[in-house]
Amino acid sequence: MSRYAEFYRQSIDAPEAFWAEQAKLIDWKTPPQQILDASNAPFVRWFAGGTTNLCHNAVDRHLATRGDQPALIAVSTETGTEKSYSFKELHAEVQRFAASLMELGVGKGDRVLIYMPMIPEAAFAMLACARLGAIHCVVFGGFASGSLASRIEDATPKVVVSADAGSRGGKVLAYKPLLDEAIRQSSHKPESVLLVDRGLAPMALTEGRDHLAAALVEKHRDAQVPCTWLDATDISYTIYTSGTTGRPKGVQRDTGGYAVALAASMKHIFDGRPGETYFSTSDIGWVVGHSYIVYGPLIAGMATLMYEGLPTQGLDRQPDGGIWWRLVEKYKVTVMFSAPTAVRVLKKQDPALLKKYDLSSLRALFLAGEPLDEPTARWISEGLGVPIIDNYWQTESGWPILTVANGVEQTRSKFGSPGVPMYGYKVKILHEATGEELSGANEKGVVVIEGPTPPGFMQTVWKDDERFVNTYWKSVPGKLVYSTFDWGIRDEDGYFYILGRTDDVINVAGHRLGTREIEEAISGHAKVAEVAVVGVADALKGQVAMAFVVPKDGAALGDDQAALFLEGEIMKQVADQLGALARPARVRFVSALPKTRSGKLLRRAIQAVCEQRDPGDLTTIEDPGALQQIRRSLSP
């Protein structure tokens, strides 16, 4: 048995002993009294009776040994700024922010909603909440007023922390008017709003409610705010799952289990070491930003690089497809985390940029957020010359479910597969209708997790235990298992492959097709840079597949003959790989696909446009013009 196989077996067969050992990776004020309480399935309590604090583990405990080492490196190519904070400096900034929140009445158990761009104050605010025992709820900066209002109503924050504006690609988006309108719409009214003024957009302040952060922070310049020790099972934060429709669904996370899970993942999965630098290109509005921009790297004693800007924009605000690699060289980044979509954007840049900088410090590039297609993985692997490690997880899980744990044992990745189940996760593939386990190689079913779920996993849906059980644990007949709502297969070596959402299945004349399978077939074509496939209502067949392709060169965009020829080639490739039934009804060519800033394709918005429906809230869209291209491509 391999070293990792034995490590995994221990986590499944003896979870209490396994996680008791992992719990030694963090500081406890009071040691846990009970490692695992799974008596009320599917609810799980980890490390009950133990007391700890996320901010202490991320900041305070490093002061004695590496207080002068970099902790937070903030880079903005939108404002042309770079600033590094040592652990001591971060400690001081967080205490000032905590004292400011205390002056506004924030204490243990209070909610603080954070609606911020990628600036250092966003991290200060999160860590300050953790320090006080307040529950933070970060909402993606720039969310539309209606969406923000529903989250304010659900979270009922005492204080909202925000800023005058964010910026993306040089385009300033004023946050304050969006926030004011959201508060107007919400039935819950926060007592106070704390505002960071970046000087990007004018702000009208509401007297008695709105406070400028600079004034409060200066007032508390010498503040000393001790950590509030929390029970391991106390709530650390809530975060709303992206793509939520209707009533918001807040994922609720604990404190002790999350701290242990992150400390263990930094060691076993990411192989991050104290004193090194971690660079995640995500946003604090998403779970990756919580786990692997703010908390995980700092808990591990690493510097974390926080980036505001585009992957193709330099500090002088001019186009620069090498900016990320320049930062890797400058700050000696050892572990990097990004999204496949970002790599596809970089694929359009000069490949020489990958060789221009000294990337010898970089040990691995981790990618998650969208399934990683093999051509993209090969391109970046060959360009960087370091392992490209796919990983699969969800907002609900808090840390990777499937990947490889090179910190335990060097394990090969397989292009197209995120990897094998991580320690603590009992991952199975079940038949969607019967609940029968599919244990054979390449048998397609629903990817599920058997309880008890490991530390760091969501506790429940905020204020709605019934919704937690009914949404996640009752979708497979006769089984109490957590559904990922993803199709998957497992090969003969135990590696999993994710084939797309179970709710992204197309039913064509009674035949069920996964959009991800069709996308995989199309993305393998040499002339295809990116692709999105959606199911579109059809009077005859129920649904048909529609493919939108970004070609590697522009010939298919401006030449009808070239477009027809490439469409024919793509159709043939899909038919050859998946059969004629899987062939899209049409292939349309566009220069960009609509995505969120974190790189997720807005497939449902594309589908809505195809069906001439309202695409809904598009606040998080990276390039609104991309959806217009989809609309124009559908014209006869």
Average pLDDT over residues 348-355: 86
Residues sharing a CB contact under 8 Å with residue 410, sequence separation 6 or more, in sequence order: none
pLDDT per residue as tens digits for the range 534-555: 989 887 777 889 999 999 888 7
Give the Cα separation of 124 and 121 in Å (integer): 5
Question: Which pLDDT belongs to residue 520?
Answer: 84
- The pLDDT tens digits for 497-538 are 998 777 677 777 666 677 887 888 899 899 999 999 998 988
pLDDT, residue 244, reads 35
Residue 165: the pLDDT is 97
Task: Over range 323-342, report the average pLDDT.
Answer: 95
Residue-level pLDDT at 512: 67
- On the question of pLDDT at 604 being above 90, the answer is no
Is residue 290 within 8 A of residue 51, CB to CB? The reply is no
Q: What is the pLDDT of residues 260-290, one digit of tens each?
A: 999 999 999 999 999 999 999 999 999 999 9
Q: Which pLDDT tens digit goes with each residue over 377-399?
A: 888 999 999 999 999 999 999 99
Tell me the average pLDDT across 19-48: 98
> Taking a C-beta distance cutoff of 8 angstroms, is the pair 214, 124 a contact?
no
The helix/strand/coil state of 420 is strand
Give the Cα separation of 239 and 258 in Å (integer). Answer: 14
pLDDT tens-digit map of 455-476 = 999 999 999 999 999 999 998 8
| Spatial contact of 578 and 519, defined as CB atoms under 8 Å apart | no
Compute the average pLDDT of residues 330-334. Answer: 98
> In the predicted model, is pLDDT for residue 194 greater than 80?
yes
Which structural domains are found in the chain, ordered by start?
3-472 (3.40.50.12780), 509-633 (3.30.300.30)
Contact 345, 574 (CB under 8 A): no
User: CA-CA distance, 215 to 409, in Å (whole number)?
Assistant: 50
Q: What is the mean pLDDT of residues 286-304?
A: 97
419: left (phi over 0), alpha (psi -120 to 50) or beta: left
Distance CA 130, CA 517 (A): 42
Determine contact, residues 210/160, Cβ cutoff 8 Å: no
Contact criterion met (CB below 8 Å) for 227 and 60: yes
8 φ, ψ (degrees, to nearest 5): -65, -45
What is the model's pLDDT at position 246? 53
pLDDT of residue 477: 86
Mean pLDDT of the chain: 93
186: nearest Cα among 162, 161, 152: 152
**Which pLDDT value is given to residue 510?**
62
The residue written with tokens 């060289």 in the block is 329
pLDDT recorded at residue 75: 98
Question: pLDDT of 97-120, one tens digit each?
Answer: 999 999 999 999 999 999 999 999
Q: Tell me the sheet residues that pair with 429.
A: 447
Kind and range of the H or E run holding 54? helix 54-58
Considering only CA atoms, which of 261, 513, 514 is closest in space to residue 398?
A: 261
Predicted pLDDT of residue 556 = 80
What is the number of residues in the chain?
A: 636
pLDDT in tens, 225-262: 999 999 999 999 999 984 334 577 899 999 999 999 99
The whole-model pTM stands at 0.87
| H-helix or E-strand spanning residue 628 | helix 624-633
Q: Where are the beta strands (DSSP E) in 372-504?
A: 388-390, 402-403, 420-421, 426-430, 445-450, 460-461, 481-490, 496-501
Mind listing the pLDDT tens digit for each residue in 614-628?
887 666 677 778 888
Please report, as a single letter, which amino acid is at residue 351. P
Alpha helices in 545-623 (DSSP H): 555-558, 560-578, 603-610
Give tens-digit pLDDT for 417-452: 999 999 999 999 999 889 999 999 999 999 999 999
Where does the pLDDT of residue 371 fall: very low under 50, low under 70, confident under 90, or very high at 90 and above? confident
CB 229 within 8 A of CB 51: yes
